[in-house]
Structure 1
């Protein structure tokens, strides 16, 4: 085990964290507070979106809570103690929870848009709440099993061990790359479906275009914020397994920088999904009506006499 020493790179990381986390906290705290107030107090009816959004706001708020501690631990080389372990557990529970809830929102949106008639059976606020509760329990248990004290040797949030991080590999693949694939698939399918609806329902084109923009922006924010951090975890694992220890300082610096970008997501989520919550309930309630009207039109055309059908 190595002692924690202040380096030039570490000083630059502290400065970067200050530049990033102060605005994130200044924006994230009021944005999440307003979003929580809107979903809890202003929106009276419980919907799937409301359940997911409240859970997302809770996860992001806990992540925001850890940022001042993360900054302090990086600046002052805090030892691994009970406070450090508690903050690490909160951090490594709520980042994947935020990712999983965004994935659930993408799946829920996909079902609502792609299968609007079946959505009434497949979706319900109770089902959404049950899934979120199950995820909270699994992630809290997992974060307690995560070997923070053994693997994070040296100072708090500073990896000194050069042993392979199997938990870290599992955390990255199951906690991000699989959800990323699901979010990409659902988002692409929703965008394709909405563009088809534009052609068949030109009078609703503006609403569909707005929904396409929301899905596209949410996907981009998700991928841009989280991908660099989880790629850096895979790079560190690969370097340790290959015993390319000379690459570790550079990868560690990249990991710290990409973590700043990943933590910005807890500020952006409330902004991104607020607009989604406004647009998609209207869209979801409208699509079954469109399909029903289209099927009625097709039935009437099929029952028309041949001559009348040709004339029309």
Structure 2
């Protein structure tokens, strides 16, 4: 029939397009991600003298990125070969790690933003007295929250085809898919949308409140206020660049299949856009080290102390207060706030 012919055409050319676009994109993601996260892991394990809840959350983000990075080489190999050779078990694990990384990265970035929000905007809140043990409990809760909906993926086979046409895909043929797979696909689409929209709203709220709070009180120098605002904007921008395309294409495929099942052209277009967004989805693993530098003064100082002095631009011009290893950024900001309040009272 015409529908079957179109599905064959779509699957054939979709796989070919993936083989052209995704291998170089994913290879760049792996190389940059491994370099950045290996440096970050080295800093966390061997150079960081003291730990706080923020650094513990960032360390978990490093672990989440490594889960994705170790799974991508198998996907790159399958795309270059044109078929999957690693068997059913590794296919399930591969898909599980890739989808879990997206959820874990989003969740942990949101936790870091919320932690920073309370530190800056509500410095006396009980949330800021969180211990390292409590932060570890929060991290475990986040992992359980993001992994639990993905565990059912491990219970079903996602291998399609035979011999040199074997494919490991989560979203292949819907006609011959079992009811369990159809439910999993529906759950994945719902999670993809919700785990982007809700954290994005929280990130925007935290970023705007931090920026307005610092700007209104003019804590420290104006350039520091401007830098804090730029950092917040950069985090939101990275979040949207990496995860927005996947969310939009997922919604597009969902809407077309539900309300315009006869519109094969639109469905094929969104399928191809999903292929492109798949590569951007893992770019966050390469960009997360930037978040570590901006979000943790302790990490930044440990990194600068490990680099040649010439690479740490402006380090020599910093004041003693800004280079002290015993005070965090939030503590400096709190001191500035108290000082400004004291001068106003006088």
With structure 2 as the length reference, what TM-score do the two structures score? Answer: 0.77
From 286, 293, 306, the equivalent of 1:267 is 286
> Corresponding residue for 2:330?
284
From 89, 94, 100, the equivalent of 1:82 is 89
> Corresponding residue for 2:150?
143
> Corresponding residue for 1:22?
27
Q: 5+ residue gaps in structure 2?
A: 162-166, 176-181, 301-321
**Displacement, 1:251?**
1.5
**Displacement, 1:292?**
2.5
Q: Deviations 1:93-137 (Å, cap 9, x if unpaired)?
A: 121001100011111111111111226645433332211111212
> Corresponding residue for 1:251?
270
Between 1:9-18 and 1:27-36, the stretch displaced more is 9-18
Q: 5+ residue gaps in structure 1?
A: 302-312
CA–CA separation in structure 2 for the residues paired with 1:225 and 1:121:
30
CA contact (8 A) 1:39 1:54 kept: yes
CA contact (8 A) 2:61 2:108 kept: yes
Q: Deviations 1:54-96 (Å, cap 9, x if unpaired)?
A: 1001001111111112223334232871110111111121210
CA contact (8 A) 2:118 2:127 kept: no
CA–CA separation in structure 1 for the residues paired with 2:231 and 2:45:
22
Q: Deviations 1:232-263 (Å, cap 9, x if unpaired)?
A: 11111212212425132221111111010111
> Corresponding residue for 2:310?
none
> Corresponding residue for 2:227?
210
CA–CA separation in structure 2 for the residues paired with 1:64 and 1:284:
32
Distance 1:119 1:44, change over 3 A: farther
Question: What does 1:87-126 align with in structure 2 at a 5 Å threshold?
Answer: 87-118=94-125, 121-126=128-133
From 155, 168, 188, the equivalent of 1:168 is 188
> Corresponding residue for 2:42?
37
Runs of 4+ in 1 over 4 A off after TM superposition: 1-6, 119-122, 150-154
CA contact (8 A) 1:232 1:255 kept: yes
- In the alignment, does 2:24 pair up with 1:11? no
CA contact (8 A) 1:195 1:208 kept: yes
**Displacement, 1:49?**
1.9
CA–CA separation in structure 2 for the residues paired with 1:253 and 1:122:
48
> Corresponding residue for 2:198?
178
**Displacement, 1:53?**
1.0
- In the alignment, does 2:269 pair up with 1:223? no
What SS does structure 1 have at the residue aligned with 2:174? coil
Between 1:146-155 and 1:156-165, the stretch displaced more is 146-155
Distance 1:227 1:237, change over 3 A: same
> Corresponding residue for 1:71?
76
CA contact (8 A) 2:96 2:154 kept: no
CA contact (8 A) 1:111 1:119 kept: no
> Corresponding residue for 1:55?
60
Superposition RMSD in Å = 2.8
- In the alignment, does 2:317 pair up with 1:294? no
**Displacement, 1:152?**
7.9
CA contact (8 A) 1:187 1:215 kept: yes
> Corresponding residue for 2:207?
187
